[in-house]
Amino acid sequence: MDESLQALLAELEQFGQENDAAITDRPRRMLNITRDTGEFLAVLIQATNAQRVLEIGTSNGYSTLWLAQAAQKVGGHVTTIEQSEFKLELAAKNFERSGLSDAITQLRGEAGGLLDSMLDANADLIFLDSKRSEYERWWPTIKRVLKKGGLLVVDNATSHADEMVPFMALVSGDAHVSACTVPVGNGQFLATLWG
């Protein structure tokens, strides 16, 4: 990773921490992933040669930059979904500064509706870091959009375990899925479709 991107990521980490410490209004908080989660995602993308990456929950683009720099190395692209206009604008500026804009497509809107419009088997890797109360409802569509052998990674598996348990049980109970939880960052729930 080049020095300018390293510096931008460090700046965004500090901004996210300071912003979230000062602001209690959830829509204005960044709620970024941890650095080790970013590193983990980057390794997963490169190890699986995930060229079509879908992120649900852009925020200010911190996680997207981790995904995009890894996807770019394997000739891939990231599509990221965000509903908040405020966060979309912050992310767009960060993408421009990063030099990774060509590797990122931003979609604005409600994730469930946007997922419904996507083609079958259209993503190699999906990173889910959004409104946890919607995950169970989105699961059939996520399963349709994710290619066989593709990987779903969901943040906050341990930090918000009470909210995540129903979704994790639903996915783990699917006969065509192998799943596990990895203690990286706030906990990552991983699931792959094999059947």
- Per residue in 130-163, pLDDT tens? 999 999 999 999 999 999 999 999 999 999 999 9
Q: Which stretch of DSSP H or E encloses residue 9? A: helix 3-22
Total Cβ atoms within 10 A of residue 154 = 25
Q: What is the pLDDT of residue 186?
A: 98
Q: What is the pLDDT of residue 12?
A: 96
What Cα–Cα distance (Å) separates residue 102 from each residue in 44, 76, 181? 21, 10, 32
Q: State the greatest distance between any 2 C-alpha atoms of the chain, in Å, as a whole number.
A: 46
- Strand segments, DSSP code E, in the chain are 52-56, 77-82, 104-108, 123-128, 146-154, 177-182, 188-193
3-state secondary structure of 70: helix
CATH superfamily placement of domain 33-193: Vaccinia Virus protein VP39 (3.40.50.150)
- Per residue in 49-82, pLDDT tens? 999 999 999 999 999 999 999 999 999 999 999 9
Residue ranges of the domains in the chain? 33-193
3-state secondary structure 168-192: HHHHHCCCCEEEEEECCCCCEEEEE
